[in-house]
Structure 1
């Protein structure tokens, strides 16, 4: 098997590399969540339907779902500098097109170009951390990444609300552009190559199966979440069937190839498997709650987009601050004493959220959301880092590609299921109370029931995660590391 070869004996300067990656990663995450707040304004300004507007998110997720699986191979084909410059360049071009976009079509193209940049950058970021930091220091390094990944979505809605209120949605992208240019210049000056490309052979059939498989799953679940026909629509059913069949064929092909595009043999390492599952649980909880809570604050409790963003800001910032702290605690004590209590906190908070009502005070929502984000910080990075630590270096590109790909799939599944449960719970309220859905005075009460049901789904996901967490063990990074890494 051809492997990615770390550059032996080379002294890396971790801080400049980290700064270049994190700055571009932060802006990518910021523009992703900031645009979500602007969707209602875009519907009115661009004269489009909510289902059409949803494509700005669906196309972004779909591009990530197609591109990220290929990233493991790209990491072995090109140098770190080449991939970084390409990723940030795509982000700059996409952001500029979005900033000047006069219509929906051009904005949609811009989102796809932005997603290409993000799809190249995320796996590169995680793979770089695995190579330049020794295992005993990876928790702290991953924690810093967690700070960026979590703070950006937290401040995105608030800043976007301010920009929309005082300027226009275009300024979400104008604000991002100079930071991306600074990141590109900084990266050109300071980015080092962390490995030698091994130039594996491109397998077109694997790329095709991967595109149909992951793309079909993400598209199917995203379409179900849009509400047009829901799960019974022909488009959703065909997409999911094509996706599942193609994924099975993709898995069989990867396991029988000498040089697979995505080496699924990484799942032979038990802590990698457990870590990946825990990351998926966290992504489903985070993305479904990030969708449901702002929706309820605006449509149920009558808050503006800016007010909703402001209410969720403390939780996001606390989560970002806690990530480096949890990373250091992970380095010191291992994952079990963080992950298990973290999932208990997540489950309990989601249970409290399942009894949310119109009389629930703003203070209670802020406290509950903050505690939820603390729980997530205790699970996400420790579970991910422990899983990746068990992999030998030749599996790093494949491990990061697998985790990042499945995160996109989990995000699409979590949001689609949560929206479906929210919709069915809302409809059931009208049926149970024999109320005409046209009676808008009852809409907040109906939505409350839908939101409560959606959070019960979150509780179930958290319980599944807690059961998985019982099997987690610390991956030793001492002299006995090689023996500990062996798959059991």
Structure 2
């Protein structure tokens, strides 16, 4: 577990470390901002495409092989990024890092399911939650601090020694816990999965980044191709005796409920993670580093509460956490709809902290409860499904809330601005505030939806085949 956590921490940290450096990179590498965004879009795209395939890979390669392969790719990608002479090489390095992250997350969750019996998984998943939430929370602040004093290349140079250490540590201590079944490789399923999930993630990401909006051919063609491929992929998986991604996992009601609930919560999370920095930097005219600092306490609080909520889940079950967590989330999202340019920084920090506490009460308990209901043979498929749909929800969330914000800004300028084509800075700031609070309004409706679903959550009993099963790996499995 320690081996997995060290590796996962630095690969996930890297996801948010670079975002704040985009303006510096665009200037130094002499490329437009729409091109630089590919460092983020490409990353999400590779992770979204690769995670569904891990359901197959973990049945062909051991835990040890998968993790060491991922850490090697991550270290290599980090080195390539650090010494990149131009944008093209930097993008290649980022895509190598994304391959590592796409491999690592499902392996980590699958290992927890195999190592720990259902009654102890909450605490283990909570420890993983600390990594998944804490790493991206400190990323922007750490990045701002490095960029204030050093060149952008140091964002990679400083991570590289830790990545190499994680590889060596795992090489010495990481044992295999998986049973290899080596099912038949279905090439057509891999192609349909890649086109389906890749098309949807790319389409929504492109719309969110303002590449001509929803009317852009690259947006709607990607979404059409992705949608058709995904339908064909689902049909093929349900018809196959040995599917690449076994969608029969959705026959478990708590797993289905957990997946839908987490997608809704992820979209609510993205509304704030995306809109608050925009409001801070373009509305309140704060620096990127200050914006990162304002969001740091909430991220740290969420990370440290994840193991606590995990232990509470083991003791009291999911309802005791998920229902109050969803109620708090709905309340805080309503309060976000009331913010304005005069709202104090302390109020923003407090609201963000409360929201992150609510998310720690919902995310890991819901996820663990859903996976607990699955039979052991579905573990790789369940973890791959959940992680993939989180990526899809993230891409949809970004595009959806950016569109809402832009629409709200345009409506405000059309009615309130003296000259909508050339608004004054105060008018732009007021329009941004209007767009952001309008988006938060929709985020509040999502939170209400999460609250309604939370009342249907029940503690999932382990399948009959799991009960009394020895969870420690046998010597033959090493």
Using the size of structure 1 for normalisation, the TM-score is 0.93
What is the CA deviation profile of residues 30-63 of structure 1, one whole-angstrom value per residue up to 9, with x for unaligned ones? Answer: 1111111111222222222222121111100110
Q: What residue number does 1:133 align with? A: 116
Query: CA separation of 1:392/1:62 partners in 2, compared to 1, >3 Å: closer, same or farther?
Result: same
2:441 to 446, 451, 456: 456
Residues 280-313 of structure 1: per-residue CA shift (max 9 Å, x gap): 1222122331111111111111111111111111
How many angstroms does 1:479 deviate by? Answer: 7.9
Inter-partner Cα distance in structure 1 for 2:466 and 2:458:
14
Say yes or no: does 1:175 pair with 2:175: no
State how far apart, in whole Å, the 2-side matches of 1:62 and 1:424 are: 26
The one of 359, 364, 385 equivalent to 2:368 is 385
User: Where do 1:427-466 residues align within 5 Å?
Assistant: 427-436=410-419, 437-438=421-422, 439-466=424-451
Partner of 1:189: 172
Aligned pairs, number: 466
Alignment of 1:53-202 (within 5 A): 53-202=36-185
Residue 187 (structure 2) aligns with: 204
Please say if residues 201 and 395 of structure 2, whose CA atoms lie closer than 8 Å, have aligned partners that are also in contact: yes
Secondary structure of the 1:227 match is: coil
List per-residue Cα deviations over 1:218-249 (Å, max 9, x = no partner). 01100111112211212111111111111110
Q: Who is 1:44 aligned against?
A: 27
Alignment match, 1:399: 382
Q: What is the SS of the residue equivalent to 1:331?
A: helix
Deviation of 1:174 after TM superposition, in Å, equals 1.0
**How far apart are the structure 2 equivalents of 1:286 and 1:259?**
35
1:364 to 319, 334, 347: 347
Distance of 1:212 and 1:288 partners within structure 2: 27
- 2:418 and 2:210 mapped to 1: Cα distance? 21
Decide whether the 8 Å contact of 1:266 with 1:391 is kept in 2. Answer: yes
**Distance across 2 between alignment mates of 1:421 and 1:49:** 24
- Please tell me whether residue 289 in structure 1 is matched to residue 267 in structure 2: no
Are the equivalent residues in 2 in contact too, given 1:154–1:313 (CA < 8 A)? Answer: yes
Question: Match of 2:199?
Answer: 216
Equivalent in 476, 480, 483 of residue 461 of structure 2: 476
Contact 1:136 1:477 in 2 (8 A): no
How far apart, in 2, do the equivalents of 1:42 and 1:221 lie? 24
5+ residue gaps, structure 2: 469-478
Match of 2:402 in 1: 419
Are the counterparts in 1 of residues 374 and 462 from structure 2 also a CA contact under 8 Å? no
The 10-residue stretch of structure 1 (117-126 or 449-458) with the greater mean CA deviation from structure 2:
449-458
- 1 CA distance for matches of 2:222 and 2:462? 43
**Backbone CA RMSD of aligned residues:** 1.4
SS at match of 1:302: coil
The C-alpha deviation readout for 1:48-92, integer Å capped at 9, x for no partner, is: 222212111110011011111000000000011110110001111
In the superposition, relative to structure 1, how do residues 435 and 93 fare at CA in structure 2: closer, same or farther (>3 Å)?
farther
Q: Do the aligned partners of 1:138 and 1:385 also contact (CA within 8 Å) in 2? A: yes
C-alpha spacing 1:478/1:61, structure 2 compared with 1 (3 Å): closer
